[in-house]
Amino acid sequence: MENKKPLLPVKSDFVFKQIFGDQRNVDILGAFLRSVLDIPDDEYGDLIIVDPHLKKESEDDKYAIVDVKLHTVSGGIIHIEIQRKVYSDLRLRTIFSQARLITEQMASGNKWTQIKRAITIIITDEIFMRKGNSYHHQFRYRTKDGFEFTDLTEINTLDLSKLPLNDDSTNLWYWMKFIKSDDEEGLDMLAMRSPEMKKAVGVLKELSADERTRMLYEQREMVLRDIESMKDDAVRETDEKWQSVIADKDAEIARLRARLGE
């Protein structure tokens, strides 16, 4: 009997996009967004995924971009990305990406009044927001006493590592659990939560059983490991270079001291 292959991890950006970034699964995406955002339900009536394909920065680039970007009914922009590692510049890059969601709307000469709401959702496997125990933070332009300047720009952070073991009676907890878990038995329990969750679990199982999808996932993971390995090599080579420089300087200082009779 052939061994059953384990489920692919939803928190892989590649797998996440296959589930939430496919126009055929827009009902799954809508249910997830409802659990995160506080925008009117009618905004989810006709979600349109902007680019359902993996994007490459150049023809030779093997590291495709796999964010999910979509438009709501009124033309608002929602950008979702998932990061397994939290690096030092992630906040700066998040702010830059968020700003582009606004500025790109003016590229065609639109009036200021035509700017639509832009929302970023960033999901991390490592802790992103270290203060407090909450796994969901919403950031907007507000004063200290809660007076809001505008709701046109918003950043939501979701920390998988802060998710409590027991549910907190919110739909968001169940979607976070789905993204975090790769335990089939646990996912089958989640599937009973709602029709959209049942479909999401079913899509994950189909993707995990598909040889081509698994091959693409494994190729992407190999590229990511190669990138991390190259970074480690660069750091190690730099350390070795500076250690050599320091050793040469120490030897030179020792020779000078010897000449001075120290």
Residues 160 and 228 in one domain: no
Phi and psi angles of residue 17, each rounded to the nearest 5 degrees, phi first: -70, -35
Per DSSP, what are the bridge partners of residue 69?
79
Residues 140 and 185 in one domain: yes
Query: Which residues are CB-neighbours of 212 under 8 A, at least 6 positions away?
Result: none
Question: pLDDT tens-digit profile of 128-180?
Answer: 998 888 999 999 998 888 889 988 999 999 999 999 989 898 999 999 999 99
- Boundaries of domain holding 231: 211-262
* Secondary structure in 3-state letters for 196-250: HHHHHHHHHHHHHHCHHHHHHHHHHHHHHHHHHHHHHHHHHHHHHHHHHHHHHHH
Residues 116 and 170 in one domain: yes
Banded pLDDT at 88 (limits 50, 70, 90): confident
Banded pLDDT at 125 (limits 50, 70, 90): very high
Residues 173 and 259 in one domain: no
Query: Which residues are CB-neighbours of 33 under 8 A, at least 6 positions away?
Result: 44, 47, 78, 121
Domain total in the chain: 2
Residue 157 lies in a domain: yes
Q: How many CB atoms are located within 10 Å of the residue 225 CB?
A: 10
Residue 142 lies in a domain: yes
| Residue 57 in this model has a pLDDT that exceeds 60 | no
pLDDT for residue 181: 85
Angle at 111 between CA 106 and CA 114, to 5 degrees: 85
CB 22 within 8 Å of CB 52: yes
Tokens of 70: 């979509």
Residue 115 lies in a domain: yes
Q: Which of 98-107, 152-161, 216-225, 239-248 has the lowest mean pLDDT?
A: 239-248
Burial class (CB in 10 A: 0-12, 13-18, 19+), 115: middle
Residues 256 and 177 in one domain: no
pLDDT for residue 113: 86
Residues 183 and 232 in one domain: no
| Residue 58 in this model has a pLDDT that exceeds 50 | no
Question: pLDDT tens-digit profile of 64-80?
Answer: 455 889 999 888 999 99
Residue 8 lies in a domain: no
